[in-house]
A and B are shown apart, each in its own frame.
Chain A
Amino acid sequence: MIEINSLSKRYKLSKQQKRELGKESSITHIDAVKEISFTCKPGRVFTLLGPNGAGKTTTLRMIATMLKPTSGTIKVAGFDTVTDGEKVRRQLGFLTGGTGLYDRLTPHEMVKYHADLNDVDSTKFKANRDEIFARLGIEEYANRRIAKLSTGMKQKVSIARTIIHDPDVLVFDEPTAGLDVIASKGIIELIRTKRDEGKTIIFSTHIMSEVSLVSDDLAIIHQGELLYDGTYRNFESNMQEKSLADEFIRLVEGGRN
């Protein structure tokens, strides 16, 4: 469960950003996220849809305790992200499209590192590792250096790394960015599997076709504000435009006016 309540994040503008705005500008900060509230429930996929720069990554980084909220609260599995950061992180698996791996380690070492960071004991590690490696087909290259693997193989290692400690909450920040169709499908399948296992899943994207594939709940975020928060089914049945993309544009442009 992720409970977000009146969450805001304000960034101070850097000197260079101020310079770019011009001398007359009196703007000193930017509100990346403004007073948003929503809840992600176990066994459901919560999709955070928004254009680039909408505040998706900032929100997810606050959930993962990497950034501190300016105001508002986030509770992950009942723990507050500010006061109980470490406990929150123990419940989390975090995957982004830009996630890299350590080229000089092997998939086995990479996954073991994350298991150790999460205090997974060796029996549980072995069982999880064997199951995940078999399912994703990593076994055959488990001891090869990651630098020598293909993009698809690396993506599988990233997935294995994210779920090795069997986290209850999974945060996916545009996980398919930069991946080909096959690798993207792997991610979508992972999301579905984890949902069926009863995990809480938050998934951010700006790709419309992915939304209909996995969403149970949907939030549309634009310029730091929520334009929609409800079930995907409800959203779909109330669409005024024919396609999801057009409906999304209608909402976003409406929000701008």
Chain B
Amino acid sequence: MNTIMTIFKKELTDTLRDRRTLIIMFIIPFALLPVMFTVMAKIGASQVKKAQDKELKVAYFANANESHLKTMLEEAEGIKLIFDADADSVEAHIRTNKLDAAIIFAPNFSEKFNALKPGKISVFYQSTNDANITWSRLKKVIDQFEKDLLEQRFISLNLNKNTAKVLRLEQTDVATAQEKYGKMIGGFLPYIFILFCFMGSMYPAIDLAAGEKERGTIETLLSSPANRFQIIVGKFLVVVISGCTSAIATILGMLVATKIGDIPEEITNVLGALLEPKSVILVLSLLIPLTVFLAGILLSISIFAKSFKEAQSLITPGNILVILPAAIGMVPGITLNYGTALIPVLNVSLATKEILAGTLQYDVLIVVYISQIVLALLSLWFCSKWFEREEIIFRE
């Protein structure tokens, strides 16, 4: 035990002094979420605000006696009506941004209206700009115009305007904000957690095995009284701690993200719910065995490699094996059940999603734990056996 601690302490000191590892292990996972949420919120908000504040140039074509909409549009803020546009070229002008929209009354609009039929108004706009805000701003005015005309029609027919209303719709969405947004960002957060667990373990794993070969320190270590199992366990612990530190840094980053404002309240609430001690403990309890599993694989590859560079080039394509199941977990509709609970990485991704949404079923969670613990032990066992093979350590 003493020997394992000696190796562990030395490897930890060595790892913590590596700036590259520190950045990948702690700084990036910690800073990513706050930065990402802030940037996304800022960009989103400023774009929407820009579109809402912008003065819309709207070409307006109506017949002499249809001035009600014109008055309404002129009274609406930020809309400039243009009356002398060429009706045939409005489409082209909208495309080239000379105009934002055009409203064209059909020549028979009044006739139709008077005949108690719907009158046609054509609205031209470009939805690719400004998230369709042009349309929604015009639609608001047009809807009011329609209401006014409807009222006018009911009065002329001596009817109560509520006669046309046959439904009174009352919508109640029973999904809580945590459920709604939990499923949404809950798909994305586990992906981030798993990715950082992997990245946080990767550099120490490469450095502590392949790096040891490259520096020529492996022979010295192997000729010391420490046996191979003690050496690998000491290294293993450091790799696992690095991976878990990344996961914790991500959670801390999330805590910071909830405090910096500018994030939609619903998301802040869900992040807040995740930060409840129970959720944090549950998520970490899933990430720790996952990190052990990943550490075993990463160290085994790293021991096999002759140099830092070879280890990197062997591990990089392996990324996909972690990223793919983690990404599949983001796909809506794929849920945690007794089958998916057995698939490594994917099970953690799905279980984390359920924890965030508050819909976790504990019987399935137990299957996830069992699967994870078995895999983690297998991975450690394989790694220690692998390290005992002289043809792997002294690979020519």
Contact = CB atoms under 8 A, between A and B. Distances in A.
Interface string B184-227: 00000000000000000000000000000001110111111111
Nearest to B10: A113
Contact of B227 (A61, A86, A98, A171): A86
Nearest to A85: B227
A109 B9 CA distance: 11
Given A61-B394, A85-B227, A104-B18, A66 B217 contact: no
A22 B224 CA distance: 40
Contacts of B396: 14
Nearest to A17: B396
Interface in A92-108: 92, 94-96, 98-105
Interface residues of B, number: 26
B224 A114 contact: yes
A129 interface: no
B285 interface: no
B216 A66 contact: no
B216 A99 contact: yes
Nearest to A102: B14
B394 A67 contact: yes
Given A14-B396, A101-B215, A105-B13, A117 B18 contact: no
Counting chain A residues whose Cβ lies within 8 A of the other chain, the interface size class is 20 to 34
Given A117-B3, A119-B225, A96 B394 contact: no
B18 A67 contact: no
Interface in B305-334: none
A119 B3 CA distance: 8
B6 interface: yes
Contacts of A75: none
B390 interface: yes
Interface in B1-21: 2-3, 6-7, 10, 13-14, 17-18
A219 interface: no
Interface string A138-177: 0000000000000000000000010000000001000000
B220 A94 contact: yes
Contacts of B219: 61, 64, 66, 94, 96, 99
Contact of A99 (B6, B217, B391): B217
Contacts of B223: 64-66, 89, 92, 94, 171
A18 interface: no
26 contacts: A11-B391, A14-B396, A61-B219, A64-B219, A64-B223, A65-B222, A66-B219, A85-B227, A86-B225, A89-B223, A94-B223, A95-B220, A98-B216, A99-B216, A99-B219, A100-B215, A101-B217, A102-B217, A104-B13, A105-B10, A105-B13, A105-B17, A113-B10, A114-B220, A161-B220, A171-B223
Across the A-B interface, the 3 shortest Cβ-Cβ residue pairs: A100-B215, A100-B216, A94-B223
Interface of B: 2-3, 6-7, 10, 13-14, 17-18, 215-217, 219-227, 390-391, 393-394, 396
Given A14-B396, A67-B394, A96-B219, 14 more contacts: A85-B227, A94-B219, A94-B223, A95-B220, A96-B216, A102-B215, A103-B215, A105-B17, A109-B13, A114-B224, A117-B221, A117-B224, A119-B2, A171-B223
